A and B are shown apart, each in its own frame.
Chain A
């Protein structure tokens, strides 16, 4: 019998929230086993148990039928379980070799480093990568960093390799390469767990798939003998009708145009002449994997980061063109800007403040909620209550409760409520559905389409190509701080993918 890693009956809760409910999972040496589920199903949590980061309330982890006790990552390493997380555990300031040495201690540092550098080169060659062990991690691309992580885990002797949503940060092309390599790793004598929410990956690269939903493992199947529809049904539970984009009406002159935007961070150039424009009643998508300047672009558009060069101009209702390149965030909001930031916790909501306050702060300027001398809290509460209904936000027992108590999807709906209640004319949405389950995703998409129908110019920046292709009228591909290609609907996915690679 080939060796196997088995999780049986795992139960885990955080406070009142049951994250894992009697979950079972087995993976055997020589195979690639996918763990499929939507965001929030519990896939990462289950694997964190296997990697020793979470301690289950009940259940057992077994290797070859023998129960093992994992009190931390060190134990997992001892049992040759290695995990590559979504946010890489790399010290940016160290070199690749130093990072690997950190995880794989050797008695002498100098000798150890040379030994590890040789090991890294050898593994890289076997796997078909190119990686320079002497390079500082901060200078590597995301894909290269991921390879460094994998090699680090392999050098530690991992037999059970867990990859958590590896293709989330890669272009289609890079993901393809990675998953092919991963199959080779499995065939060479390892057990690989591929945590993913993408059906296509499961169908193409996995020997077996376990479907998770709501903390439970529903079924283990073989992708070859299952249809996509069956898998979708298991993963999502019901059929969700994705909001459909209606055909576009004729458009006038651009509502917002960006030309030659340049900005740098810590001495590195992040935006190198970005230029595009968005019309009213249009959704313009910016595709591309993270790290190509999207974050800086959003910051420049919000007014939080100063651009070194370039302009951002908007066309006001009365026809005037206004240069907002140096306008403060307050001025931009007055002119109709709305922002849905990618990092909800950091920029979207103030968790320790109430739902009502988080909702009302968007319009407190306008004098809607009282004067400078006295804030009209009753009106705040009433308006919030109305918005909670209108935007279908669950989990709000009282508008005075803390915003941090809302779950991911509902928190995002609160952000949407705040932004869209003002009927903005320019919407900047940055990865608005990151980490949300399918239902919440659909709700967000609906609102974005509604804003477009109401006449707004919507800029959608997302790493999820499916989302971009499903919603956008025009798409720009962003690489290294510039828009390198633009496409109009109907959009060919292959061409977009190629544009991302060609200019990488």
Chain B
């Protein structure tokens, strides 16, 4: 029993990390008023970019992860250009982005031959003098660097958003763009910056999945996690720390599946694979039923800003 618990808890952080990072990235762009549905696509770009960089640039996992962030940010500029400059409907643009990325990553992955290529990935780091392999608890304290970086990243982003002037301006753009415009801020600038920075985190989440976790690229490796992250943001009411808890919850559920199989309980394989989606579905229903006050949502979320001149 103890072994089961320890192994389960030990595997949670690496499964929760992509959810946490992606949700944080989405929160950044949504706080500026840009509804970001393209997370699944950007995660795929990050995932492919990471593996591709690893294979091409000589096997440096951290460098590969940086490339995944850059790749996702670059693709997100297309999205930002569409929705912020050209005022395209943000839902359509987000959906198109997902399928664009799915098709593009599939194409590049196949043609460049990066598909189905196992890589060594990123090694875990021993963070505790106790983490030896001899005791079961040793496993829990060997996590990879990205997992360890997640909380500092959250702290940093939270500080910027809540305490700095950049954060204040970014949030004002998402709450009341007319007020921000009248105050002399450039709505376009802050929204594009928010989208690009947020997408870097989403790309990192994707890169983590392929480079660190699965250590391989195949088409669709993110398996819908981007969509779950979008649901997570709503569940977290756009608050970073709640998103972290939610990510741990989802990581926990996902981590349960292999552990149950390992213990020997036989459940239909595909029903087990359904659980993250069922859990997300349940969370969405719960969020809706508890009638969350819409005042928690950034007031201008999803609406393109035009300096409208009414008669």
A residues apposed to B, CB below 8 Å: 14, 17, 19, 40, 45, 48, 53-54, 72-74, 77, 83, 85, 87-94, 98-99, 101-103, 105-106, 109-110, 112, 266-267, 407-408
Contact of B179 with A by CB under 8 A: yes
Is B213 located at the chain interface by the 8 A CB criterion? no
Q: A266 touching B295 by the CB < 8 A rule?
A: yes
Beta-carbon nearest neighbor of A408 in chain B: B311
A–B pairs, 16, beta carbons within 8 Å: A53-B309, A54-B309, A73-B181, A73-B182, A83-B182, A85-B182, A87-B178, A90-B176, A90-B179, A91-B179, A93-B299, A94-B168, A102-B185, A106-B165, A109-B163, A266-B293
CB of B309 within 8 A of CB of A101, answer no
Query: Nearest Cβ distance between residue B162 and chain A, in whole angstroms?
Result: 10
Report B180-213 residues with CB < 8 Å from chain A CB: 180-185
**Complex Cα gap A102–B184 (Å):** 9
A191 CB → nearest B CB, Å = 20
Residues of B within 8 A of A (CB): 163-165, 168-169, 171-172, 175-176, 178-185, 293-295, 299, 307, 309, 311
State the CA gap A201–B263 with chains docked (Å): 82
Q: Name which residue of chain A comes closest to B176, CB basis.
A: A91
* A residues less than 8 Å from B311 (CB atoms): 14, 17, 19, 40, 45, 407-408
- Candidates B165, B181, B309; contact of A105 at CB < 8 Å: B165
Q: Known contacts being A85-B182, A92-B176, is A109 close to B309, with CB within 8 Å?
A: no
A92, B175: Cβ atoms under 8 Å?
yes
Give, as a whole number of angstroms, the nearest-CB distance from A457 to chain B: 33
A107 CA to B305 CA, complexed, in Å: 27
Contacts of B295 in A (CB 8 A): 266
Please determine whether B164 and A14 come into contact, CB atoms closer than 8 angstroms. no
With a 10 A CB-CB cut-off, give which of A53, A77, A112 has the most chain B CB atoms: A53
- Please indicate the chain A residues that have their CB under 8 angstroms from the CB of B172 in the complex: 91, 94, 102
- Knowing A94-B175, A103-B183, say if A14 contacts B309 (CB, 8 Å): yes
Give the Cβ gap from B159 to chain A, nearest Cβ, in Å: 11
Q: Report the separation of the CA atoms of residues A90 and B172 in the bound assembly, to the nearest whole angstrom.
A: 9
Tell me which residues across on chain B come within 8 A of A408, comparing CB atoms: 311
Q: Chain A nearest CB: distance from B177 CB in Å?
A: 10
Given contacts A19-B311, A266-B295, contact A109 B183 (CB under 8 A): no
Chain A's nearest CB lies how many Å from the CB of B32? 13
Task: Please give, as numbers and ranges, the residues of chain A lying within 8 Å of B299 by CB-CB distance.
Answer: 92-93
Shortest CB distance B218–A (Å): 43
How distant is the Cα of A90 from the Cα of B179 in the complex, in angstroms? 5
Apart from A91-B176, A94-B175, 12 more pairs, CB < 8 Å: A17-B311, A73-B184, A77-B184, A92-B175, A92-B176, A93-B299, A99-B179, A102-B169, A102-B185, A103-B182, A109-B163, A109-B165
Q: Which residues of B contact A77 (CB under 8 A)?
A: 184
**Interface contact A102-B309, CB-CB below 8 Å:** no
Contact (Cβ within 8 A) A91 B293: no
In the complex, the answer to whether B164 meets A102 with C-beta atoms within 8 Å is no
CA distance A109 to B182 in the complex (A): 20
Q: Which residues of chain A are near B307, meaning CB under 8 Å?
A: 53
Known pairs A17-B311, A94-B172; A89 contacts B182 (CB<8 A): yes
Contact between A110 and B163, CB atoms less than 8 A apart: yes
CB pair B180 A102 closer than 8 Å: yes
Assembled-state Cα–Cα distance A92/B294 (Å): 14
Chain B minimum-CB-distance residue to A105: B165
Check A109–B168 contact: CB distance below 8 A.
yes
Question: In the complex the two chains form, is A98's CB within 8 Å of B184's CB?
Answer: no
CA distance A266 to B307 in the complex (A): 28
For A53, the chain B residues whose CB sits under 8 A away are 182, 307, 309
